[in-house]
Chain A
Amino acid sequence: MNARRSVVTGVLALLCLAAGAQARIKLVALPERAATVIRLDNPNATLIEEERVLTLQKGLNKVDFSWKGVQIDEDSIRLVSLDHPGDVTLLSISYPPGEAALVWEISSAGDFAETVRISYLLSNIDRLITYKAVANKAETFVDLKSYLVLRNFSGEDFEKARVLLDYGEAFEQGIDHEETKQMLFLNEPNVPVRKIWTFDAAKLPWDPEQLNNQNVGIPVSYEVVNSDKSGLGRFALWGGKARLFQQDGHGSTIFLGEDNASLVPVGEKMELYIGDSRDIVVTQRKMQDAQINLRKNNDGVVVLLDTDEIIKAKIENFKDSPAVLTMVQHIPGQWDMAECNLKYVKKDASTLKFEIELPARTEKGPGVKELTMRYHRRNVRPGQ
């Protein structure tokens, strides 16, 4: 018996138990646990299942299950008889005072060496997921690795256990108290990746000129689709910290940045923000903002109006490779587009998304694209 072993199970022959069971005799034999399962599919609670062989005598048996230094949800403790489920009946469960323990009263139809499965929710044992992605030099593919980090601060040593997530294969692993183990469980080379630059007009300054010699960083992220085509798509990708690296073409890598990924169901995209680019510059200005179709009350005060607005945005690419900039524009309230020189997708009632392909820098200068959109906001109520 491991000295640190804190969960202790014992069989009490029924012998001469005094009424009230205060005179509980602590166990006689220590059945070793077998077939332990650590199930980590629920991020809020970890379920432990373990099998033990109890030596039951015909008649009434008292089995003492106690734990020390671990946090077990008492009400979650279950006992299932595996060999003779019909002949072994759990009669009652008692909780002794001031002890982390319980006493099972088991009725057995015969003398059995009975395998039972004990399950309970154990605190302070959990898992984390981390990702490591190494992009090729062209940033078109990544080698995606995912690690399972098993953390055990439960107070209990698990010499050998089957660890189960809600996906993937179960694996054998032992983990001691205060031990943390990082295990590779996903290794997918050549996952297509898309590098995206995003300019959101609601988040970034429009006119770099007014920033007094400061750069505007355009957020850069990598996008991986959790699908078959990417070599993924077998299960949802859990959220966790992701670190991105890039091959530098000299047999080494550089660290690009890191981000927290959120849970990505199958078919969804994982977007990892790695940093800001200063090689793409957006200069956006409102060129016209006029009120039209004024409707006035009897006092001559405007009660309803439309607008006529023009937005212009110049996008310059100083990189020596082409890029696709995602530009997000916002128009609140009711509006209609009068003219727009680039194609957009209406993401929702007030959000427009442009995918703007930027040519690479040439000797003449940066690759440039310009957006011009003219729209009318309708039925605006001044003062509201």
Chain B
Amino acid sequence: MNTHLTDQQLIDYQFDLTSEADAGEARTHLEKCEACRRRLHTLGRKFNALELLRDDVKASRTLLSETIHNAQQAGRWRRLLLHRLPWAGAVAAAVIVGIALLAVPDRGRKDAPTFSTASQPAPETATTGLAEEVPLLAMAPSPAGGKAEDPVRSVPVRAYPETPYGVTTSALADAPGTGQPDAIDDQPPFAPASAIELVVLPRREDVQLTIYNAADLTLVREKRNLTLKRGWNWLQFMWAGTLIDPTSLNLEPLEHKGEVEVQQLVFPPRLRELGRWLIRSEVAGQVPFELTYMTSGLAWRAFYMGTLSQDEKTIRLEAYVRVSNNSGEDYEDAETRLLVGRVHLLERIRELAQRPYPYGGHDVPNYLDRLRRLKLPGGRSVADLSGKDLHGPVAYAMPPKEIQKEGLSEYFLYTIEGTETIPNEWGKRLMSFDADDIPVTSLCKYDEERWGSQTIRFLSFANDAEHKLGETPLPDGMVRVYGRADEQGHLSYVGGMGVKYIPVGEEVELNLGPARLVEVKPVLMDYRTANHTFDTKGEVNGWEEVRTWKIEIANASALPVQVEVTRGFGTPYWTLKLMSGGATYRKHDASHARFELTVPARRTQVFEYEVTTYHGVRQEAASDDNIRTGN
């Protein structure tokens, strides 16, 4: 026999459903064929698990004959599902048969030949083709909740699929052709009977991303239409290769709210990056669900392009956001919302996503974990631990589509119009706003204590209506400023700098770096001391220092500049007198004064001031002088 055994043949062989001659042929082939032995072994392991339950099972004769009949029909069924499930149907049928057979004493108890217990091949279900799209959601009807006389529903099945990826839920629901549905069993099934039967793979209908910029956090909200059977349904969600925080998983029906209940979310043992929801449904058919979870790996940042007008009196500001996706997951046609603000997180989502156990392992005692273990297998109280109740009501309501920018609590939400497709590892630049003719003030600042001897050029405007802004806060980001070099719109690059978050109404100050054509040169022109006082011992206990400073400002640029010079005196006890020049000054803080003046294009201007600082007991005099001069 050169060709491999079919699945049907394997099942027949395993459960003695075949003639002696066929069985002999199969045996001969199996002895020679490693591949078939492995497949048989896989099947064997699945059924072995079920065998444990044998004693508890009381199957009715009717069911047995029915399931065996179904098994015999498996070939036909398989062909019906051919396009997606080459032989999963058959296997599923075999499961049923298996259970039925096991239920009969002295029948079907035949150990699967153990050829190899080493690495189990990936299950051969249709999931391989689907595994590309992670996270994977798959549905199957629940094993319990079927017909009243269905013995299977009382079986506390402990079989877990050993699939590293792929399939989903299992179950038996109402047999086709059943009339009025009977009452659903109060007892939820402990776990899906097997992961073999893949009934429905719901597509993602809608997806919405809310991406935070202050933390590596994205709230994903997606809509999936699940086909439920009346009764208990298991839904499996797999997120291998992604950065999803399993503790944030939440599933809720959007319709039939009273009738469809998500009761549990189970993270099965020995399986990683996989969770199963137990759904109790009074209805059969398609029910839209909303799945929300948090993931890391998506990020956005803002950046700006400013283009100065030729006279440098106005600026056009184009704000962009760059969204990047390194989450391991493609997001297609996603409504994208960007959230500005600092969010308080206890743990990093990326770390939560990479934990072996969603709520921590054995070493990390976790009351939720313990609670889950305590209550199982049984009551509905575990359902209280499902995503919804764990995480409270969903915090961010979906805004109406037309609203593009809105404040929420301490956050600001930008909704990008329409939808965006952001495949994994791609980035996208999107325009946030484009404001033209924003009046700007150009100011050159000189402050030795901050920038040494360089004059730094600043552009300032306010994030308010007067400056054609003020609708939203400006997220922090890099600003690149260009100048208009000529009438043809050619540009020249002025400089780039990072700006902090600017709330509505606050002034924005862009540091354009050193002003190469504006030079400020302070020169100490005169120094003297005066008014020494002596204490009773004859020691000097007070004096004044009088300095005359000349500040020379050379403007080599073709436009007039406004200059602000900050001078520090090292002491809060000082008085100041402007000697010459067109500058004005004000006290900036206790020990600093600020001078301002405008220097015409290609000109040099000079102003002089005399500052007296008071030391020792002469400090008192400074206080008097301050009152006198209104300093």
Chain A interface residues (CB < 8 Å from chain B): 19-22, 37, 39, 41-47, 49, 75-76, 78, 80, 92-98, 102, 117, 119, 121, 164, 166, 236, 263, 265-268, 295-299, 303-304, 333-334, 346-350, 378-379, 381
Q: Which residues of B contact A37 (CB under 8 A)?
A: 490
Q: Give 9 closest A-B pairs by Cβ, nearest first.
A: A97-B425, A265-B556, A297-B538, A95-B427, A93-B429, A20-B423, A349-B524, A334-B528, A379-B529
**Cα of A119 to Cα of B484 in the assembled complex, Å:** 13
Task: Find out whether the CB atom of A303 lies under 8 angstroms from the CB atom of B538.
Answer: yes
Task: Find out whether the CB atom of A333 lies under 8 angstroms from the CB atom of B527.
Answer: yes
Task: Find out whether the CB atom of A236 lies under 8 angstroms from the CB atom of B324.
Answer: no
Among A43, A75, A334, contact of B478 (Cβ-Cβ < 8 Å): A75
**Cα of A26 to Cα of B534 in the assembled complex, Å:** 87
14 further A-B contacts with Cβ under 8 Å, apart from A75-B322, A95-B427, are: A22-B423, A39-B493, A44-B495, A44-B513, A45-B496, A46-B493, A92-B429, A95-B324, A97-B423, A121-B480, A297-B534, A299-B538, A348-B524, A349-B547
B499 at the interface (CB under 8 A from A): no
Q: Quick one: CB contact mask for B426-438 with A, threshold 8 Å, 1 for yes?
A: 1111110000000
Closest A-chain residue to B539, C-beta based? Answer: A297
Q: Which residues of B contact A80 (CB under 8 A)?
A: 489
**Cα of A80 to Cα of B484 in the assembled complex, Å:** 14
Task: Find out whether the CB atom of B604 lies under 8 angstroms from the CB atom of A267.
Answer: yes
B403 at the interface (CB under 8 A from A): no
Can you sample 17 A-B contacts with CB below 8 Å? Answer: A20-B423, A39-B491, A39-B493, A43-B516, A49-B490, A75-B303, A95-B429, A97-B426, A98-B425, A119-B491, A121-B493, A295-B534, A297-B539, A304-B540, A348-B525, A378-B528, A378-B529
**Cα of A334 to Cα of B423 in the assembled complex, Å:** 73
Q: Which of B143-196 contact A (CB under 8 A)?
A: none
How many B residues, CB 8 Å from partner?
56
**Cα of A333 to Cα of B588 in the assembled complex, Å:** 28
Taking the nearest CB of chain B, how far is it from the CB of A82, in angstroms? 8
Among A78, A94, A266, contact of B426 (Cβ-Cβ < 8 Å): A94
Taking the nearest CB of chain B, how far is it from the CB of A98, in angstroms? 7
Q: Which residues of B contact A94 (CB under 8 A)?
A: 426-429
Closest B-chain residue to A22, C-beta based? Answer: B423
Q: Which residues of A contact B73 (CB under 8 A)?
A: none
Q: Which residues of B contact A49 (CB under 8 A)?
A: 490-491
Q: Quick one: CB contact mask for B468-492 with A, threshold 8 Å, 1 for yes?
A: 0000000000101010010001111
B35 at the interface (CB under 8 A from A): no
Q: Which residues of A contact B480 (CB under 8 A)?
A: 75-76, 121
Q: Quick one: CB contact mask for B532-550 with A, threshold 8 Å, 1 for yes?
A: 1010111110010001100
Task: Find out whether the CB atom of A41 lies under 8 angstroms from the CB atom of B492.
Answer: yes
Among B430, B494, B517, B527, contact of A334 (Cβ-Cβ < 8 Å): B527
**Cα of A164 to Cα of B488 in the assembled complex, Å:** 14
**Cα of A49 to Cα of B490 in the assembled complex, Å:** 8
Task: Find out whether the CB atom of B493 lies under 8 angstroms from the CB atom of A346.
Answer: no
Q: Which residues of A contact B540 (CB under 8 A)?
A: 303-304, 381
Q: A265-B519, A349-B525 are in contact. Are A78 and B305 (CB under 8 A)?
A: yes
**Cα of A96 to Cα of B422 in the assembled complex, Å:** 10
**Cα of A183 to Cα of B491 in the assembled complex, Å:** 24
**Cα of A21 to Cα of B534 in the assembled complex, Å:** 85
Q: Which residues of B contact A76 (CB under 8 A)?
A: 305, 480, 493
B216 at the interface (CB under 8 A from A): no
**Cα of A46 to Cα of B491 in the assembled complex, Å:** 11
Among A46, A303, A334, A346, contact of B529 (Cβ-Cβ < 8 Å): A334
Task: Find out whether the CB atom of B490 lies under 8 angstroms from the CB atom of A19.
Answer: no
Task: Find out whether the CB atom of B494 lies under 8 angstroms from the CB atom of A39.
Answer: no
Taking the nearest CB of chain A, how far is it from the CB of B308, in angstroms? 13
Q: Which of B530-570 contact A (CB under 8 A)?
A: 532, 534, 536-540, 543, 547-548, 554, 556
**Cα of A92 to Cα of B305 in the assembled complex, Å:** 15
Taking the nearest CB of chain A, how far is it from the CB of B203, in angstroms? 13
Task: Find out whether the CB atom of A298 lies under 8 angstroms from the CB atom of B429.
Answer: no
**Cα of A349 to Cα of B492 in the assembled complex, Å:** 42
Taking the nearest CB of chain B, how far is it from the CB of A229, in angstroms? 15
Q: Which of B380-426 contact A (CB under 8 A)?
A: 420-421, 423-426
Q: Which residues of B contact A378 (CB under 8 A)?
A: 528-529
Q: Which residues of A contact B363 (CB under 8 A)?
A: none
**Cα of A47 to Cα of B516 in the assembled complex, Å:** 18
Q: Which residues of A contact B528 (CB under 8 A)?
A: 334, 378-379
Q: A19-B332, A267-B604, A303-B538 are in contact. Are A47 and B491 (CB under 8 A)?
A: yes
**Cα of A20 to Cα of B330 in the assembled complex, Å:** 8
**Cα of A46 to Cα of B492 in the assembled complex, Å:** 9
Task: Find out whether the CB atom of B485 lies under 8 angstroms from the CB atom of A164.
Answer: yes
Q: A78-B305, A95-B428 are in contact. Are A236 and B537 (CB under 8 A)?
A: no
**Cα of A104 to Cα of B62 in the assembled complex, Å:** 66
Closest A-chain residue to B554, C-beta based? Answer: A265
B313 at the interface (CB under 8 A from A): no
Among A78, A236, A268, A346, contact of B525 (Cβ-Cβ < 8 Å): A346
**Cα of A42 to Cα of B543 in the assembled complex, Å:** 49
Q: Quick one: CB contact mask for B318-343 with A, threshold 8 Å, 1 for yes?
A: 00101010000010110000000000
Q: Which residues of B contact A303 (CB under 8 A)?
A: 534, 538-540
Closest B-chain residue to A346, C-beta based? Answer: B525
Q: Which residues of B contact A304 (CB under 8 A)?
A: 532, 540
B523 at the interface (CB under 8 A from A): yes
Among A47, A266, A346, contact of B556 (Cβ-Cβ < 8 Å): A266
**Cα of A296 to Cα of B539 in the assembled complex, Å:** 8
**Cα of A39 to Cα of B485 in the assembled complex, Å:** 10
Closest A-chain residue to B303, C-beta based? Answer: A75
Task: Find out whether the CB atom of A92 lies under 8 angstroms from the CB atom of B430.
Answer: yes
Closest B-chain residue to A380, C-beta based? Answer: B529
